[in-house]
């Protein structure tokens, strides 16, 4: 990215976001060839090329969007939800971000997550066992949605009998992160925020009274040692972590299984050699990711490719476009589970201080859930593939009909 202080500023091309919703990969590819950024709305831009997307994550002239800004942009009324969103470490910067994130960086460290692999596999096996046989069903609902909710519940140490109550509220609250806030469901989302808060608070208090060998106990013990955030904030952050891993993993896992079932050679290769599973998970998240873009706000004027951006501009860094950029990937439109040009850190989880704390957990959840299907339901057939809708933020997956003979 270069500053050309003396050249005349160009105007970015304006693109109606609705146009990008139809065949988003093809539209993004056309635009990426033509230009490095387009304007979506007043003061809102989509950055398309890997050469800009990657450095902008950590450019000192950009910052993360703040919770209260997010609440204001989406016109979310005061209440449980607004308080929760305003407090999240996902939507904060600097010292506040570090203080809240550090608790989770320890508990979700790669080593700890790797140790949980056996527990994760046991939950995945249980879900696969419970799937219907001999009739068609929606894989997104019956399996992909249960993977993140049941697994995070098991790791945190929540009672398995609460899993339905818990999952219903998790997916309801997750809607608060849709690119367009669904105001028509506000009451339900608001209630889910309050109920999840009460539930997690109660579970934490139980562990303060009687510690257990689970992640919630570890979190509340670490918090107690430092007490650098209020207890209410600890509860909000735990709810935030649970929500952060729900829709993202649900859609990514369903899309992965669908992509593989449409390629019988890949499916057979994975059955024969489970060592190919991690590569397949990486490729699924690159090829059709569940998160399409990640927002940043400019703190200072930025000029790139001759275009001036004022401070306060919202940049949507299109990881979805960058992960199909031929400058970064060889034949980017080819789905290849043996691809050797994945960067060490997968871009779908972001780059820099806000990089996903659940990256390792998400990966292990998907690897073990795929392995569980390959072992116990290898003949599963895809009847209707899902579609991943949208190009920005959290993308939406449509139902996916499958049948296990």
Residues making contact with ligand HEM (CB under 6 A):
64, 89-90, 101, 152, 240-241, 244-245, 248-249, 252, 285, 290-291, 294, 348-350, 354, 356-358, 361-362
Q: Which of residues 366 and 372 has its CB atom nearest to ligand HEM in the complex?
A: 366
Residue number with the shortest CB distance to ligand HEM?
A: 358
Q: Which of residues 248 and 321 has its CB atom nearest to ligand HEM in the complex?
A: 248
Q: Which of residues 241 and 309 has its CB atom nearest to ligand HEM in the complex?
A: 241
CB of 96 to ligand HEM, least distance (A): 11
CB of 13 to ligand HEM, least distance (A): 25
Burial of 6 (0-12, 13-18, 19+ CB in 10 A): exposed
Q: Which of residues 327 and 345 has its CB atom nearest to ligand HEM in the complex?
A: 345
CB of 21 to ligand HEM, least distance (A): 19
Q: Which of residues 196 and 404 has its CB atom nearest to ligand HEM in the complex?
A: 196
Distance, in Å, from the CA atom of 244 to the CA atom of 68, rounded to the nearest integer, reads 18
Phi-psi region at 350: left, alpha or beta (left = phi > 0; alpha = psi -120 to 50)? left
Q: Which of residues 270 and 362 has its CB atom nearest to ligand HEM in the complex?
A: 362
CB atoms within 10 A of CB 118: 9
Q: Which of residues 53 and 404 has its CB atom nearest to ligand HEM in the complex?
A: 53
CB of 136 to ligand HEM, least distance (A): 26
CB of 290 to ligand HEM, least distance (A): 5
CB of 164 to ligand HEM, least distance (A): 19
Q: Which of residues 174 and 348 has its CB atom nearest to ligand HEM in the complex?
A: 348
CB of 370 to ligand HEM, least distance (A): 13
Q: Could you identify the residue written with the tokens 């046991």?
A: 122
Kind of pairing between the strands at 37-41 and 13-14: parallel
CB of 16 to ligand HEM, least distance (A): 25
Identify which of 293, 246, 263 has the alpha carbon closest to the alpha carbon of residue 385.
Answer: 263
Q: Which of residues 52 and 101 has its CB atom nearest to ligand HEM in the complex?
A: 101
CB of 133 to ligand HEM, least distance (A): 28
């Amino acid at each position: 990215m270069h500053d050309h202080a003396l050249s005349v500023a160009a105007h970015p091309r304006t693109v109606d976001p609705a146009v990008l919703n139809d065949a988003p990969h093809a539209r993004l590819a056309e635009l990426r060839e033509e230009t490095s950024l387009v304007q979506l709305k007043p003061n809102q831009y989509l950055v398309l090329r890997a050469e800009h997307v990657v450095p902008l994550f950590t450019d000192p002239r950009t910052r993360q969007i703040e919770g209260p800004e997010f609440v204001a942009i989406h016109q979310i009324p005061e209440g449980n939800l607004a308080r929760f969103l305003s407090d999240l470490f996902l939507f904060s910067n600097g010292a506040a971000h570090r203080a809240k994130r550090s608790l989770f960086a320890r508990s979700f460290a790669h080593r700890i997550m790797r140790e949980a692999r056996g527990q994760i596999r046991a939950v995945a096996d249980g879900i696969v066992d419970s799937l219907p046989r001999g009739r068609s069903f929606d894989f997104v609902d019956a399996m992909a949605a249960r993977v993140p909710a049941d697994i995070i519940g098991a790791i945190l140490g929540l009672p398995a009998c609460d899993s339905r109550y818990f999952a219903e509220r998790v997916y309801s609250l997750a809607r608060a992160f849709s690119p367009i806030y669904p105001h028509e469901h506000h009451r339900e989302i608001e209630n889910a925020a309050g109920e999840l808060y009460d539930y997690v608070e109660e579970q934490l208090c139980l562990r303060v009274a009687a510690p257990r060998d689970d992640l919630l106990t570890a979190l509340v013990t670490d918090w107690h040692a430092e007490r650098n955030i209020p207890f209410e904030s600890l509860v909000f952050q735990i709810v935030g972590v649970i929500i952060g891993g729900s829709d993202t993993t649900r859609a990514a896992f369903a899309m992965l299984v669908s992509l593989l079932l449409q390629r019988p050679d890949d499916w057979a290769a994975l059955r024969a050699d489970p060592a190919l599973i991690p590569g397949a998970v990486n490729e699924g998240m690159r090829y059709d990711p569940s998160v399409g873009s990640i927002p940043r706000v400019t703190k200072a004027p930025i000029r790139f490719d001759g275009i001036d951006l004022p401070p306060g501009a919202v940049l949507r860094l299109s990881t979805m476009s960058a992960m199909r950029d031929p400058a970064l990937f060889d034949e980017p439109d080819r789905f290849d589970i043996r691809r050797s040009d994945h960067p060490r850190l997968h871009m779908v989880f972001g780059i820099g201080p806000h990089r996903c704390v659940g990256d390792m957990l998400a990966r292990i959840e998907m690897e073990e859930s795929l392995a569980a299907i390959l072992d116990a339901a290898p003949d599963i057939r895809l009847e209707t593939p899902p579609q991943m809708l949208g190009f920005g933020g959290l993308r939406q997956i449509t139902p996916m009909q499958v049948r296990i003979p």
